[in-house]
Amino acid sequence: MRGKAPVLTAVFLPAVIGLGGAFVAVRLLGTYGWALFLGLPVLVSFLSALIFRKWRNASWGACYGVALLAILALGGFILVFAIDGLICLVMAFPLAAALCLVGAALGYLLGRNLSARATFLMPLLLVAVFPALLGFEYMQPPEPALHEVASRVEIEAPIHEVWKNVIEFDRIEELPRGIFRLGIAYPVSARIDGEGVGAIRHCVFSTGPFVEPITVWDSPHTLEFSVTSNPPPMKEFSPHGHLDTPHLHDTFVSTRGRFRLWEENGTVILEGTTWYFQRITPDWYWHRLSDGIIHEIHLRVLREIKRQSEGER
């Protein structure tokens, strides 16, 4: 058992400290920012590598392995204590694993060179700084960037037939696949109340409807709309059943959308575009994941419009 003690301590002690930080960030402050997604993985992996290096005089590779186990243990604690769900954890893991390299390297180097007293004081200082970073982010949230995602398909049907199915379409019979089977919200059907500018389009997703007042109605070429109501972007998976986490509310916001249709080489080109922002950082990481998800959502809708327009029932 003595041989296992350094590993268990280096894995679970930093994970428990990280659990406290995650609870404050997510459940008390509702912030999904740099401190949570960058600071916490570095802190946990640093503490883990520092402890293991000091206790075992371990190699860099061993320190990284133990630090990565601490990151995984933190994710397990977050899931078990219902702080967040599995989908968010899986999406965040690649970033956390990369940052673990940084934290483990610092822990390994300092654990090799610092005195025993400095080794004791350094972790205390870093743990004390983390709540201050969370508080700063909470008081000074960054201005979210607006992103644009466009997707298109070719349809062999009259443009007026395509336009009719753009405005509203029947329930999509295609079973959800890929990321949609993991809980990401997916489109189900669309209906419209009225006609022309001012009409209200309802694009129904698996988690609820997007409410879309029409702002441009140029039949049969352009349909633009704002978005006044967004459903939750996903259903989080949790061993506790339904989990209502802060990131399901106003963290991902679609602001407007557009369909464009034009004829080219005897076919109709249908392009769908979404503008959105998200209150989650680092944006350079999360918006690439969101862009990919939105592209898949677009394709599910565009394929259905193509199927209904071409009469492939």
Give the model confidence (pLDDT) of 66-115 as tens digits: 999 999 999 999 999 999 999 999 999 999 999 999 999 999 988 777 66
Distances (CA, A) of 297 to 55, 115, 143, 164, 168: 50, 55, 26, 20, 16
pLDDT of residue 166: 97
Ramachandran assignment for 266, one of left (phi > 0), alpha (psi -120 to 50 degrees), beta (any other): left
Whether 222 and 253 map to the same domain: the answer is: yes
Question: What are the φ and ψ backbone dihedral angles of 121, each rounded to 5 degrees?
Answer: -80, -35
Q: How many CA atoms lie within 13 A of 38 on its CB side?
A: 13
**Positions of the chain with pLDDT lower than 70, given as ranges:** 1-5, 114-122, 312-313
Q: Do 303 and 258 share a domain, yes or no?
A: yes
Same domain, 189 and 247: yes
The domain of 242 spans 147-310
Q: What is the CATH number of the domain that holds 270?
A: 3.30.530.20
Please give the pLDDT value at position 122.
Answer: 67
Same domain assignment for residues 86 and 227: no
Whether residues 91 and 182 share a domain: the answer is no
Reference 27, options 243, 253, 286, 233; nearest CA is 243
Residues 187 and 302 in one domain: yes
The predicted pLDDT at position 2 comes to 47
pLDDT in tens, 103-142: 999 999 887 776 655 556 667 777 778 888 888 888 888 8
**Which residues fall within 8 angstroms of residue 298, CB to CB, at 6 or more apart?**
149, 150, 151, 272, 274
Query: How confident is the model at residue 6, as a pLDDT?
Result: 78
- Domain end (from 121, 139, 157): 139
| Domain C-terminal end among 117, 139, 161 | 139
In angstroms, rounded to a whole number, what is the distance separating the alpha carbons of residues 161 and 129?
Answer: 61
- The torsion of the CA quartet 205, 211, 213, 219, rounded to 10 degrees, works out to 10
For the entire predicted model, the pTM comes to 0.90
In this structure, the strands spanning 200-205 and 208-218 are antiparallel
Distance CA 156, CA 143 (A): 43
Q: How many domains does the chain have?
A: 2
Whether cis (ω within 30° of 0) applies to the bond prior to 123 is no
